Structure 1
Amino acid sequence: MCSMKNILVSIVLINILQLETYLCANLNSKIIMEDAQEKYKFLITAGYRPKIDNLAKYVVSLRGKKYRRVFGDDHYCGGSIISPKVILTAAHCVCRGDNRIELRPFRPSDILAVAGTPRRLVVTEKTQALKVDKVICHAYFDPKTFHNDIALLLLIKNIYEDGVSAQRISLQTSSLPPHTKCTVLGWGRIFEYGPKPDLILHTNVYIMPNEFCKERDDDFFFGMMCATDEDDFEKDSCFGDSGGPLICNGSVAGIVSFGNGCGVPDEAGYYTNVSSYRDWIRKNGLDKLRPVNFILLIVLQICITES
């Protein structure tokens, strides 16, 4: 049987070990947090959340047909509402293939577009989960170079636009001059290999001259643009922001396409220049809706005449 003295010594030693463990854990935690604050701003990359968000209503979250564990954990890309039935996104988000010959769109039934909310993981009163009827990829999209990285999703049902939680956005019709200030937003990683946010993040970047873009990417091509903030390179789109909008002067001017990492010094994010594809968008998306509207107009005129 242990003596009282031995029991007391054991209790003292255990308390000393617990105290040492506690102090070490606190010290390591402090070091980790200081290191994290030094390396990362935890802000899309280096983003912010505005007090009044007037831009999230234009954006949708693209997801798989069924989440894995919790609602929104299957988010993989973004998109822009350009009509109640048409979503503008990047081709690499909804097309697969190693080259142009093998390129084929995802099955519409495998994609869900979620609109009406800035929250990724929470179902709100305004959340709209919409099924896709047709996927239209640019015929000359090249997955290796990201040339012509643009696609459209035609929805089965219209998005309900209330002007607050969901709203269509206009297309930029002409190329913007260098150094135009724009905003990119989405649910992409908050830093490279980091987590994705629940609440959508914004960051402000500036369109750069073509020479700047060409110097940093040999495959810079017609229909591309790049943007960054030369005073704060951490402002950038990241994985999961692809397909989302670059909004300039109230219109969607770019589609998040690719980049060399996230927030890398002396680099930039690359975007599909929407103004270069406005005719393609009208022909493959907006114009496809007009015949239905035209037929409805004829039916309405007949009904009015007969009455």
Structure 2
Amino acid sequence: ISCLKNFSLLISCVLLFIIQPGRGSEIINGKEVKPHSLPYMAYLRTVTNSLCGGTLIHPQWVLTAVVLGAHSIRKEEKDSKQIREVEKLFPHPNYTRVTKGNDLMLVKLQEPATLTRTVKWLKLGKTIRDPAAGSTCLVAGWGRTETTRSSDVLKSVNVTVVDRQTCNCRDYYNHDPVITRDMICAGSDGTNVADTCQGDSGGPLLCDGALVGVTSFGRGCGVIKKPGVYSFVSRKQLKWIK
């Protein structure tokens, strides 16, 4: 699902089934984004010092986290960062830990975010197209890189959508768990390694600039035949979100 920490509010990822087992904490083979070019990105650090990502989808609603307007985690960036207390958590009522279905959570902020140059929300469309296999999408996060160290700055990488039939085959996930129509597999293009991991859980999968998925789970980091799996923000999920 997602993770949550604010300066006065600490909630364990484990208690919320937030960190999925078997993932690392990396944007694999990514590069630093232009500062504040993804102004709807949010991050939080948990009590176990793990990172999670999120997407600001409304002034008062985050599809995961609560530090807004950041590029560098370590720098104060007083003119860009906004920190908000959390009013309430809304994990998806049909989330299942075993099958990893409906792996989404909404965070309601006590005070709305302020629209600035570095903080903007990503408006959701009325419908979201299921990305075709071979589509190139963007993922971003602050997790550890291939050097195994956490990134101080926001990084992104392009991932390639893998069709569900392939993702369920023996060499991939072998139906453990079953990759359903509510999930999207995306990772390597078959040659170049590209991936997300635990530290990026809850962050966005962006296809043609639209929020299509939320980083959910995977197996290993940067394994070509174990692409990342994302919760598809389908019409059904949009109805729950709205």
TM-score tier (shorter): 0.7 to 0.9
8 Å Cα contact 1:86-1:152 kept in structure 2: yes
8 Å Cα contact 1:233-1:264 kept in structure 2: no
- How far is the alpha carbon of 1:174 from its aligned partner? 2.5
> In the alignment, which residue of structure 2 is the partner of 1:60?
42
2:133 maps to 1:196? no
Equivalent position to 1:158, from 74, 87, 112: 112
Equivalent position to 2:196, from 237, 248, 253: 237
- 1:209 and 1:221 map into 2 onto residues whose CA distance is 11
Equivalent position to 2:83, from 109, 125, 129: 129
- 1:262 and 1:138 map into 2 onto residues whose CA distance is 26
Structure 1: unaligned runs, 5 residues or longer: 1-42, 69-73, 90-111, 283-307
Cα distance per residue 1:94-140 (max 9 Å; x no partner): xxxxxxxxxxxxxxxxxx71001111122102111111101001111
Superposition map of 1:78-227 within 5 A: 78-89=53-64, 113-124=66-77, 125-162=79-116, 164-171=117-124, 173-191=128-146, 194-215=148-169, 216-217=172-173, 218=175, 219-227=178-186
More deviation in 151-160 or 220-229?
220-229
- 2:35 and 2:83 map into 1 onto residues whose CA distance is 24
Identity %, equivalent residues: 31
- How far is the alpha carbon of 1:75 from its aligned partner? 4.8
Cα gap change, 1:241 to 1:278, in 2 (>3 Å):
same
- 2:134 and 2:118 map into 1 onto residues whose CA distance is 30
- 1:253 and 1:281 map into 2 onto residues whose CA distance is 13
8 Å Cα contact 1:80-1:244 kept in structure 2: yes
Cα distance per residue 1:247-299 (max 9 Å; x no partner): 111111110001111101322110000124111111xxxxxxxxxxxxxxxxx
Secondary structure, counterpart of 1:179 in structure 2: coil
8 Å Cα contact 2:164-2:180 kept in structure 1: no
Query: How many residues in Structure 1 have an aligned counterpart in Structure 2?
Result: 208
> Quick check: which has more Rg, 1 or 2?
1
The list of structure 1 runs, each at least 4 consecutive aligned residues, that deviate by more than 3 angstroms after superposition, is 50-53
> In the alignment, which residue of structure 2 is the partner of 1:250?
209
Q: TM-score, normalised by structure 1?
A: 0.63
8 Å Cα contact 1:187-1:200 kept in structure 2: yes
- How far is the alpha carbon of 1:229 from its aligned partner? 2.4
8 Å Cα contact 1:170-1:250 kept in structure 2: no
- 1:166 and 1:223 map into 2 onto residues whose CA distance is 29
Q: Which has the higher helix share?
A: 1
2:240 maps to 1:280? yes
Q: CA RMSD in A?
A: 2.0
Structure 2: unaligned runs, 5 residues or longer: 1-25
Higher RCO by CA contacts (8 Å cutoff, separation 6 or greater): 2
2:37 maps to 1:48? no
Secondary structure, counterpart of 2:84 in structure 1: strand
- 2:206 and 2:217 map into 1 onto residues whose CA distance is 16
- Report the residue type matching 1:159 in the other structure: A
Q: TM-score, normalised by structure 2?
A: 0.79
